[in-house]
Amino acid sequence: MTEKRHLSNLMRSLHRDIGFLLIGLTIVYCVSGLVLIYRDRGFMRLEKKINITLQANLAPNDLGKALGMRKLKIINKENGILYFHGGTYNIKNGETSAVISSYPSIIEKMNRFHMQSSGNLVHILAALYGVLLLFLAVSSFWMYRPGSRFFKRGLVLSGTGIAATMLLLLFF
């Protein structure tokens, strides 16, 4: 077996095995990515009414943080009660009534996994996933002989995908 043929077989085997290994992680990233794309629409969110007592005299920003509402906006203030979309907050005693929107537990975990930062140890898995996806993209060129009809088609499709991505980045 020639060295070139050996490399081709090795790349094909690695491409196949790594592809199968990444199926579960790819499904998690796909589902959480779709949920995150439509997060502004409330896709897959569940609403629940809560009644809790928070610290009195919270500033609106602190109230939003305490309730997990990043964009909390005060609509009205009347008789020591702050009114915001979905709830109320009594400035004097901290009594709060609100409708909270959250994802089901499994979706919340998927989203946290999707949005890792370098400070979290799990980021190593996310970085490895990215490197392995890059390998899968590059190793796909070893699936067909150079010069074959399928190889040329793969080059055209890859070029089209790169061009479309560049256009999206330029205009959106």
Strand partners, 84: 74, 87
pLDDT score recorded for residue 117 = 85
Instruction: For residues 44-66, give the mean pLDDT.
Output: 91
Q: How confident is the model at residue 2 (pLDDT cuts 50, 70, 90)?
A: confident
Whole-angstrom Cα distance, residue 78 to residue 140? 64
Are residues 77 and 83 in contact, defined by beta-carbon separation less than 8 angstroms? yes
- Per the model's pLDDT, the better-predicted residue between 7 and 96 turns out to be 96
How confident is the prediction for the chain on average, in pLDDT? 89
Are residues 111 and 35 in contact, defined by beta-carbon separation less than 8 angstroms? yes
Angle, helices 3-21 vs 23-37, to 10°: value is 60
Q: How confident is the model at residue 115 (pLDDT cuts 50, 70, 90)?
A: confident
Are residues 32 and 107 in contact, defined by beta-carbon separation less than 8 angstroms? yes
pLDDT score recorded for residue 170 = 94
Which are the contacts of 99, defined by CB distance < 8 A and separation ≥ 6? 47, 48, 49, 50, 86, 87
pLDDT at residue 118 greater than cutoff 90? no
Task: Report pLDDT digits (tens) over 63-105.
Answer: 999 998 888 899 999 999 999 988 999 999 999 999 988 899 9
Neighbours of 89 (CB within 10 A): 25
Nearest to 87 by CA among 45, 110, 54: 54
Task: Report pLDDT digits (tens) over 13-40.
Answer: 999 999 898 998 888 888 888 998 898 8
Assigned token pair, 137: 């993209």
pLDDT at residue 122 greater than cutoff 80? yes
pLDDT at residue 4 greater than cutoff 80? no
Among 7-11, 58-62, 90-94, 142-146, the range of highest mean pLDDT: 90-94
